Chains A and B, each alone.
Chain A
Amino acid sequence: MAAATGLVALLDKVAPIAGLGVVYMLAVLLIAIRRGELAALATAGFSVLALNYFFIEPRHRLTISDSENVVALAVLLIAAIVVGRLAATARARAREAEERARLTAAREREAAILAEAASAVLAAGDLETQLDNLAASVTASTSEALRVELTAAPPEDRDGELVPLASRQRPGWIWAAPRSGWARDDLERMAEPLGRLIDIAHEHERISSRFAESEATRRADAAKTALLHAISHDLRSPLTAITTAAGGLRGGTISEADRRELLSVIDDESDRLARLVDDLLDVSRIQAGAVNPRTDWCDLSDLTASAAAGVRARLGDHPVEFDLPADLPLVQADAAQLERVFSNLLENAIRFSPEDEPVRISGGTGGGKVIVRVTDQGRGIAAPRQAEVFEPFVGGRDGHAGSGLGLAICRGLVEANGGTIRLQSTPGLGTSFAVALPLSPQPAPAR
């Protein structure tokens, strides 16, 4: 305004008053472009007043003597208003266009971040991994300007903007570093799709766990059917032998030798039945997770010796070599269960050993474990079968008298006692089963 008034004062000497009004129009135009319509209107008003006050006779008064000048001023005012209006509209259009471009850029930027986040959620892994990946991808794709935090309470002591994520499954937050170019409303726009992604990850987890469950049930059912089938066969054969022998005993004319023979059939087959029933009970306890070890200090030398004595009493005096170090540490386990493990392993080893080839019991400590090995010099187990011998009814089905449950029971009992069981076998040379139990700090020495 002041600049326009100065310019008009200079031109006053050379131009008529109506021409001078145009200079004020320039000012109105500039103001309209810069400041908008209202400011332009005000400028137009002031311009008319200033022109009147400074340049129209009588000067320095707001009165007009010449009616021609009144018309000029009125025209100036109207023109100023129209120009101001036009300029302001143009300015608003330009602004809108600018804003639209900015929004488009922001949307593109956000779409890229969300695409990264979505592919992080869809990648393989469990729920927590997927959510970690999501958070990491947001951090990475914004060069650490944004961060996703999946905490119940808002992260504290953070400058910058913090907006809650719109997830129904789990609370979370999106945070923008100060001066990172991310405004609060940008974050609010991101909060919705990011929340949805978290919900999708949860949903995904839920569906896949339900699928795994039904798959496991299906497999367990199949295993049970196979088990029932095998059991009924295994139960029937000793039962048949017993009834046959009992029938034979009724005969009036059998010799004393035959009588003894039939009695020992009944004894042996009842034994077999009894052991099958015990094994089945063990398998069902193991499968139900009801092994409940009664943990106490166990001396593995003592346990293997007592297992060997029991097995040798049943199967005859097959040679067993004891090669355990005298200072083998005690382990914390259920003694009776471990004895069953070693009985089963020794029984297998003896059954598969050539006559008079000793079964060896050796062991030691290493890697935080106490290890006992039962090794035979039998024909070994071919590599493809090594994995399946621990499955019920697979291991022992080679035509010997075992129930086929022995190794499954061994694995179940060892694992229930915090240990592992592994086998090493070379076909033609023999098989070695290694039972490894955790090495505990040893108890205070005996008094």
Chain B
Amino acid sequence: MSAQRVLVVDDEPQIVRGLKVILRDAGYDVETAQNKEAALAALSVRPPDAVVLDLVLPDGSGVEVCQEVRSWSQLPILVLSAVGDEREKVRALDAGADDYVTKPFGTEELLARLRSVLRRGEQDGAEPKVSVGDLEIDLAGRSVRRDGAEVHLTPIEFDLLRVLATHRGKLVTHRQLLHEVWGPGYETETHYLRVHFAHIRSKLEPEPSQPRYLITEPGIGYRLREQS
């Protein structure tokens, strides 16, 4: 099996230089593009396995690249963004980006996020069971065990956990969660999430006030941690 190919889209040569070394060292083939136009050209000619995409490009926004790509492909997109740019992050995620890392990022964090978006590209929630720490989530049988003991979740609580588990390790936005669990028309009722997550945590977390599994990304969404 040949190495997975990653397209890095960033206009800052020093960052591209560093990313190339890091990604090659981790076993990926790396291609680069310096602006939106070059990125879209490279994507359509020979689609890579994943894209690492800066949100601020000289000829446009990474959000536009996400929208464009999503109109014809589900290939995984990992976005690079700056602190305090929650609005842009959410726009990119809602436009189809799979996750983000905040600049400046650590190598480990970047590679972990890239692995989890690539895995989603391969499997897309097809696993029947997901286990994290001492939690075991049976997606097909709709049951959860903690330390081997069955935990009772309400149907909505289980659905929320199911969405996070199928996208394990990956950030799921408020909007996505509300849309998938409650359906169209509920995308802005974020307070539903606060209440239900408080309940799920009290049932699944060893210490609900310091969650280990269900991680809040303030103002953006939630993720199910991969390893605890």
Give A residues with C-beta under 8 Å from B: 267, 270-271, 274, 278, 281-282, 285, 294, 296-299, 301-303, 305-306, 308-309, 320, 322, 324, 326, 330, 334-339, 443, 445-447
Contact = CB atoms under 8 A, between A and B. Distances in A.
A298 B217 CA distance: 12
Nearest to A282: B84
Interface string B108-146: 000000000000000000000000000000000000000
A339 B182 CA distance: 27
Contacts of B106: 267
B83 interface: yes
Interface in B195-215: 195-198, 209-211, 215
B104 interface: yes
Contacts of B84: 278, 281-282, 285, 336
B209 A294 contact: no
B191 A330 contact: yes
Given A278-B83, A278-B84, A302 B215 contact: no
A336 B219 CA distance: 5
Given A294-B219, A302-B198, A274 B104 contact: yes
Interface of B: 83-84, 86-87, 104, 106, 156, 174, 182, 189-192, 194-198, 209-211, 215-220
A309 B194 contact: no
Nearest to B214: A302
A336 B218 CA distance: 5
Given A278-B83, A281-B84, A299 B219 contact: no
Contacts of B217: 306
Given A303-B218, A305-B210, A336 B86 contact: yes
B197 A446 contact: no
Contact of B216 (A267, A278, A305, A324): A305
A278 B104 CA distance: 10
B195 A306 contact: no
Given A322-B209, A335-B219, A338-B218, A302 B104 contact: no
B215 A299 contact: no
A446 B219 contact: no
Contacts of B104: 270-271, 274
A306 B217 CA distance: 8
Instruction: Across the A-B interface, give the 3 residue pairs with the lowest CB-CB distance, nearest first.
Output: A336-B219, A335-B219, A297-B191
B221 to A, nearest CB: 10
Contacts of B191: 297, 330, 443, 446
Contacts of B86: 294, 334, 336
Contacts of B195: 445-446
Given A278-B83, A282-B84, A336-B86, A446 B196 contact: yes
A447 B186 CA distance: 10
Given A274-B104, A282-B84, A322-B210, A302 B192 contact: no
B47 to A, nearest CB: 33
8 contacts: A301-B209, A302-B197, A305-B210, A305-B216, A336-B218, A336-B220, A446-B192, A447-B182
A447 B160 CA distance: 13
A190 to B, nearest CB: 60
A296 B217 CA distance: 14
B218 A339 contact: yes
Most buried by A among B104, B106, B217: B104
Contacts of B218: 298, 302-303, 306, 335-336, 338-339
Contacts of A445: 195
B210 A309 contact: yes
Most buried by B among A296, A305, A322: A305
A268 B90 CA distance: 29
Contacts of A308: 210
A303 B194 contact: no
Contact of A302 (B174, B182, B194): B194
Contact of A334 (B83, B156, B190, B219): B219
A336 B84 CA distance: 8
A298 B216 CA distance: 11
A322 B106 CA distance: 29
B104 to A, nearest CB: 5
B132 to A, nearest CB: 16
Contacts of A294: 86-87, 219
Nearest to A308: B210
A27 B174 CA distance: 110
Nearest to B199: A446
Given A302-B197, A446-B195, A296 B190 contact: yes
Contacts of B197: 299, 302
Contacts of A330: 191, 194
A280 to B, nearest CB: 11
A247 to B, nearest CB: 18
Contacts of B182: 447
B210 A297 contact: no
B219 A305 contact: no
Contacts of B216: 302-303, 305-306
A276 to B, nearest CB: 12
B215 A306 contact: yes
Nearest to A320: B210
Nearest to A267: B106
A279 to B, nearest CB: 10
